[in-house]
Structure 1
Amino acid sequence: MCQHEPRCPSAYASDREAARPVAFRPEQGWSLLCNGVVLFDDTGELLPDGRAVAPHRPAVAPHRSARPLLSPVA
């Protein structure tokens, strides 16, 4: 499917999201990559064989206050 040089990663490669978009619908939240992967804004994917890949955004660390918490006075 890919006509780019160098060729984009295949739909089953670990770096498949690096393929170039050939169609995108930002109002609907998805892009079609040249390797046949549908990439969703939430980082979920639909592979050409119909398998779904769950969203995989990096986990956000909990917010830590710059001030130490005060302990109750006994």
Structure 2
Amino acid sequence: MCSHVPRCPAADSSDREAALPVAPHPEQGWSLLCNGVLLFEDTGELLPDGTIVPPHRPEEALRAA
């Protein structure tokens, strides 16, 4: 799916969030990355295979909220 050079990380890699957004929708709280991952503003993710990755905010952000 990615046509960038260098290629973006695959959806199953640990750095998948580094992929470039192809359909950003900050007003709705999500972005579609070029590797097919839906990234939500709360740091949760929906992978192309349907796997849900729960939010994983840094502890400092949780304490500040």
How many residues align? The count is 63
User: Which structure 2 segments of 5+ residues have no match?
Assistant: none
TM-score (norm 1): 0.80
Greater Rg over alpha carbons, structure: 1
Deviation track 1:16-74 (CA, whole Å, cap 9, x = no partner) reads 000000001111100000000000000000000011000000112868xxxxxxxxxxx
TM-score (norm 2): 0.91
User: Which structure 1 segments of 5+ residues have no match?
Assistant: 64-74
The separation in 1 between residues aligned to 2:63 and 2:40, in whole angstroms, is: 25
Richer in helix (by share): 2
Query: Which is bigger in relative contact order (C-alpha 8 A, separation at least 6)?
Result: 2
**Aligned-pair Cα RMSD in Å:** 1.6
The separation in 2 between residues aligned to 1:46 and 1:24, in whole angstroms, is: 15
Matching residue of 2:10: 10
Instruction: Give SS of 2:17's match.
Output: helix
Q: Provide the identity percentage.
A: 71
In 2 relative to 1, CA 62–47 (structure 1 residues): closer, same or farther, beyond 3 Å? closer
In 2 relative to 1, CA 59–22 (structure 1 residues): closer, same or farther, beyond 3 Å? same
